[in-house]
Structure 1
């Protein structure tokens, strides 16, 4: 299935891993290429079979497969929107295990990354979840220490709701609290914010601007599927249709084949 946004894509990959699809291969193509890939994998590996059928095959020792893609904002050389895709496979025998060069999600050397390569899918002994990569986590730490220890002449003050704040620290907090709230990401953000507050208390004067209080990073809520067909979701096709025919009332039904 092709998804319209990164969070849905990441949720489906996480769900697949939870259901024992721990082997994968991945790549990047364009919209027509993903359509061809979908048909080829469905014919060869049964990626479009029902959940019940896949479950029965796994019980019989066969590998089951699922394909997920995400529509990107970048375009390929031919002007088509790019698509990142991941084929996930469960343990077992089958054509897919012979044809594809599969990597193991459980291997730290071949962890599955998010499309922007900021997050990695890991099992922490409890279950599968996404977390910030070591590179991104350390970048945040470096930025925290750099901002907290910046010299007086490099500090920028802004006013938020009548209260003086440090501009760079507030931008950093905005970025931290905009991270997707997967369980392990939430834990990391909590540690990073605590580190920022410790550095602030240690390096900044109590008489100067203090850090704003923030609500906790909310969990990512479950997002239902919004399949992308011909580059657009159903809601996007409806919006495009009504922009061309504004006289149509909001309740107009538009088929998926439009």
Structure 2
């Protein structure tokens, strides 16, 4: 399977070789989430980067996964639970050795959603000699991976022979965006429409998302022409939609992330995590 990439010139390309490893604050070319202790896992802080790493795992052959969300304060306890069952987030060499030995290898990835204070996590499983049934594994091509209104899909781009792995808006999210655009135009809510256009123009530039945004631009133009007066100035639509390039790992170790949270927000999160008084 190919995976969506972007060349330095800004044109989309199909990657037929392993992606370049992200640069981190540590070893040059190393992935920040690999080889770290499960008691202090690496947490991504950029959604688009996390989305790329999810795609990387599926492209690497992960056909088993589970996903969920957990308060930031509890993330290392979850990672340690998985580490007790699998070889978790090993370095590249250790990963290769474990698989050759028939051991169960897993990849745990987490992204901090700053709006909620929760970590959205995904555990990918590469089975060894036998399949562990401790978790209710899902197949990413049968039960698509979703995140914040997006889903990971296989899509064949025009002129391409093989499908690429990319992200797009879920059907529900796309329908919501479509309705918001139409209602804003018909209701003469030009300020709302401008905000929608600005938000859409900043969507992660994966191939699937780009195609959907182009369709929404066409809907804006058609609906404006159909329902608004010729004297009304049409909204300004960006001439291009940005491509997503290969991004380095962006995030922090859990302990550093906890220290970076303002005291007020941390206390609020601790209250939300506390069990109810019975």
Q: Distance in 1 between matches of 2:96 and 2:144?
A: 25
1:219 matched to 2:243? yes
**What is aligned with 1:135?**
172
Q: Distance in 2 between matches of 1:61 and 1:214?
A: 51
The partner residue of 2:145 within 112, 137, 159 is: 112
Contact 2:65 2:125 in 1 (8 A): yes
Q: 5+ residue gaps in structure 2?
A: 1-41, 157-162, 263-278
Corresponding residue SS for 2:78: helix
Count of residues in correspondence between the two structures: 215
Contact 1:57 1:64 in 2 (8 A): yes
Give 1:80-159 correspondences, 5 Å limit: 81-90=117-126, 93-94=129-130, 97-107=132-142, 110-114=143-147, 116=148, 118-125=149-156, 126-150=163-187, 155-156=188-189
Give 1:156-235 correspondences, 5 Å limit: 156=189, 166-232=190-256
Q: Distance in 1 between matches of 2:127 and 2:133?
A: 12
**Alignment TM-score, normalising by the size of structure 1:** 0.72
Q: 5+ residue gaps in structure 1?
A: 76-80, 157-165, 241-258
User: Measured at CA, do residues 213 and 26 of structure 1 come closer, stay the same or move farther in structure 2, by a change above 3 Å?
Assistant: closer
**What is aligned with 1:54?**
95
Q: Distance in 1 between matches of 2:115 and 2:236?
A: 35
Query: Which structure is higher in helix share?
Result: 1
**Larger C-alpha radius of gyration, 1 or 2?**
1
Q: Distance in 1 between matches of 2:202 and 2:153?
A: 21
Q: Distance in 2 between matches of 1:54 and 1:195?
A: 48
Shift of 1:63: 5.1
- RMSD of Structure 2 on Structure 1 (CA): 2.8
Contact 1:3 1:71 in 2 (8 A): yes
Contact 1:26 1:84 in 2 (8 A): yes
Q: Distance in 2 between matches of 1:227 and 1:205?
A: 48
Shift of 1:38: 2.2
**Alignment TM-score, normalising by the size of structure 2:** 0.67
User: Measured at CA, do residues 140 and 32 of structure 1 come closer, stay the same or move farther in structure 2, by a change above 3 Å?
Assistant: closer
Shift of 1:203: 2.2
